[in-house]
Each structure stands twice: as C-alpha cells, then as structure tokens.
Homo-oligomer: A and B are copies of this chain.
C-alpha cells in the first residue's frame, strides 16, 4: 500500500485508541515504519492536517456503513437494534468503542487512570440514582424507572456532545421538548 494511505490508517487507529493529544507523531511514525520526511511530504501542515484527513476518511466509512445497515432493514426500529448490536459486539471483542463516533478520538477516557474512570463512573451513577428515585415517586415501576433514568442520562450527555460540535444549543432544546413526551407515554 502507498505510504500516505498507510499513514492515514495507522494514525486513525491510534487516534481512536488513545485520543489525538495522547498520540505523538513519533509513535505514529514508528508504528508504520515511516520517517518524518515522508509524513511532512504528504502532510505539509503536520499533525493537524493528518487528523483532519483521518476524520474525513472516517466520516465516509461510518456513513456508508450505517447507510448499509439501514438499507438492509425494513424499519428504523430494526435498523437501530442491528446497529447498536454491532456496537455492543465490537465493544465486547475489542474492549473499546471506536466505530460510529468521533468521540473516541476527541476523548481521552481510554488513556485515563483507573481512578479517573471510577470517578467519572461514580458521577453518572449518582445522577442516574437521582433520576431513578424521582421516577419511582412519579409512579414508575422499578424496571421502567431504571431504564428511563439511563435514557435520560445518555440522551442528555449525547446532546451535550452534539451542542459542543455544532456550536449550538439546538440539540439540548430539542431533547428538552421530546423527553417529557416520552416520559408521559410510559
């Protein structure tokens, strides 16, 4: 394979595994036996240009991948289930999630210490617990409350990520309108 493609593939994997800041140029270079001269020949603007190239290629891959899954299934429901299933299997196999999102690249979570991971996990647990308690007061069943509190946590967390990337508060606003409707129907 040509040097440039080799560089992109290796860098993409490393970025996904460890995050952009964590991965140094030398690490990428060593991983695919390419010298600095070659890198700056193909990417005159250095690391940043390499990242952008990786993201653009990845975007195409992910989009067609999801597109394929959706064309295979009749309803959105089935497609979503199949898609999440793919994610779950990938996680169980590799121990991390790299597909269908950029967050693994812009997140340093994978490289954080166990203590840090635990602190983050504890926070989400606290939040979910608050939600769950209130939902039980609202009259939800135990199972429904548990599932719903997770949906609340996840969708708000995800909406925050979307707001940051879009530089807009629209995602949170939409979620805020939708979640009450959903809760009422349960």
A169 touches B88 (CB 8 A): yes
Number of identical monomers bound together in the oligomeric complex: 2
Q: How far is the CA of A87 from the CA of B138 in the complex (A)?
A: 24
* Interface residue A185 (Cβ < 8 Å from any Cβ of B): yes
Considering the chains assembled together, what is the distance between the CA atoms of A35 and B54 in angstroms?
39
Number of interface residues of A (CB under 8 A): 96
Expressed in whole angstroms, the Cα–Cα distance for A85 and B77 within the complex equals: 30
Interface residues of A in 132-168 (CB under 8 A from B): 134-135, 137-138, 146-148, 150-167
**With A102-B119, A158-B159 already in contact, 19 other A-B pairs whose C-beta atoms are closer than 8 Å:** A52-B119, A55-B123, A76-B131, A76-B183, A77-B138, A77-B179, A80-B176, A81-B179, A84-B172, A84-B175, A84-B179, A88-B172, A101-B160, A102-B123, A107-B107, A109-B165, A147-B177, A155-B155, A185-B185
